Structure 1
Amino acid sequence: MSGFEQLLQGQLPKLIMFDLDGTLIDSVPDLAAAVETMLLKLGRPPAGLENVQLWIGNGAPMLVRRALAGNMQGSGIDDAEAERALEIFMEAYDGGHELTRVYAGVRESLKWLQKQGVEMALITNKPERFVAPLLDEMKLGRFFRWIIGGDTLPQKKPDPAALLFVMKMAGVTAAQSMFIGDSRNDVLAAKAAGVRCVALNYGYNHGRPIEEESPDMVIGNLQELIAGCLESSAEITLDTSVHPSQRDSIVVVTRKLWMKVIKALARWRWRA
């Protein structure tokens, strides 16, 4: 039995929102390389890939503070020093993503969902300047109609603001939506938005088993959601009123839309 059959009684959600790092792609090697470049330029000892993997998940500014402090708290770091370090990190990470890889089963699953007419969005805490180019580099960009980065809105996950905004844009309810991620931030954001959450157990949840966060389902490969359906769409159906989205209408939400986003969220939350 597929994950969708277990969670939705044979129906597909109208909207699926995805996290990026640790969910669709393994970006730790490139992020770690950028952190090490930053630390080297600042005359600090290297952090090591394992530590960087533990520190990922709360956005670039927090990753930089944790690297400077050498711990998860990232405390005791001067703001000016953190700002300078962030500039170095961003420049280093902008240099390329040769070591980043797409996880097994991701492309096949996204292709299948796209063929079924499921709307898809990407919601990540990664700075927005990197997101769309990285998705295109990984040949994943064409699957997502809405793309929101970690600094697109004033809030980032675990705040549900981005999830609520995308649901508003898609014209769907929480019951018709799903979020797929790999970390505590993803589960908390999904729960706060009232949507089902599926978690991947291979991600970067600060070294903790994702099962501890009590998502609705834990899987080891996206294809578990559509097991037995890759060759046929007969077992799982989408509401006939939903049509495949037009890929030329992709919306990359930028900081320039903040005021519109905030107003839309205010109306959404008021009605809720």
Structure 2
Amino acid sequence: MIAGIRAVIVDLDGTMVDTLGDFDVALNRTLQDLSRPGVARTDIERMVGKGSMHLIRSALQHGGLDAGAADAVLERAWARYQAHYQAVNGQHSAVYPGVDAGLVALAARGLPLACLTNKPLAFARELLARKGLDRHFRHVFGGDSFARTKPDPLPLIETCRALGTAPAATLMVGDSLNDAQAARAAGCPVALVTYGYNHGEPIARAPHDRLIDSLVELDALLA
């Protein structure tokens, strides 16, 4: 059990929604526009989690460009990626089992919820709305909402400020080392889901207070 929780912050990609299909389509269409080699889904899974710009840069380097060459085409790649992602956002993704029920149970406890993701805010808001999850959240913050992104603790600290709760009383729920490191640095307890994306590494190796197989387990965890 985790005692004293007054609010919950929840990650999006890999925690609430399996968005690998959206990333696959948008990223490979972008690479095709640039006449660059495509990227397999298994490689994309290892690249996601640190924001869209990192994903695009990683894909370009995976296709044979060195860091300098990748940065040189990054602005054009970013523009094409935004257009493609906007067109497919939510079409090739699915809400993980137990997510809606888990969020409902947390809300029934009177806990304010915030979604905090490294995905650009506009894409995050649109995805939550399309999947019917937006109704659960008092606040939604994306990778462009603050000066830095997870694993930096700043987004968590600012989200706690918006929720009006101390970090020690605010549970972070995520799927990756980014979430774990940000939570630890901010002083938030953290529960990590055993599915999702963690750069190809076992999630149990990331610092955590609890591992859960579904968001429905959170209700009992906080009892």
TM-score (norm 2): 0.94
The one-letter amino acid of 1:118's match is L
Question: For the Cα contact (< 8 Å) 2:102–2:217, is it kept in 1?
Answer: no
| Counterpart pick for 1:7 among 2, 7, 15 | 2
Shift of 1:112: 1.2
Q: Who is 1:171 aligned against? A: 164
- Does residue 1:27 correspond to 2:19, yes or no? yes
Assess, with a 3 A threshold, how the Cα gap between structure 1 residues 121 and 99 changes in structure 2: closer, same or farther.
same
Question: For the Cα contact (< 8 Å) 1:180–1:197, is it kept in 2?
Answer: yes
Q: Please, which moves more after superposition, 96-105 or 56-65?
A: 96-105
The one-letter amino acid of 1:111's match is V
Question: For the Cα contact (< 8 Å) 1:198–1:217, is it kept in 2?
Answer: yes
Query: Per the alignment, in what secondary structure is the counterpart of residue 98 of structure 1?
Result: coil
Q: Who is 1:255 aligned against? A: none
The one-letter amino acid of 2:57's match is R
- Does residue 1:202 correspond to 2:195, yes or no? yes
Q: What runs of 5+ residues in structure 2 fail to find an aligned partner?
A: none
**Separation (CA, whole Å) in 2 of partners of 1:38 and 1:188:** 31
Q: Who is 2:83 aligned against? A: 91
Q: What runs of 5+ residues in structure 1 fail to find an aligned partner?
A: 1-5, 230-234, 237-272
Assess, with a 3 A threshold, how the Cα gap between structure 1 residues 205 and 167 changes in structure 2: closer, same or farther.
same
**Separation (CA, whole Å) in 2 of partners of 1:78 and 1:170:** 38
- Does residue 1:159 correspond to 2:149, yes or no? no
Q: Who is 1:144 aligned against? A: 137
Q: Who is 2:43 aligned against? A: 51
Shift of 1:163: 1.1
Q: Who is 1:268 aligned against? A: none
Q: Who is 1:124 aligned against? A: 117
Q: Who is 1:264 aligned against? A: none
TM-score (norm 1): 0.77
Q: Please, which moves more after superposition, 121-130 or 163-172?
A: 163-172
Query: Per the alignment, in what secondary structure is the counterpart of residue 222 of structure 1?
Result: coil
Shift of 1:74: 7.4
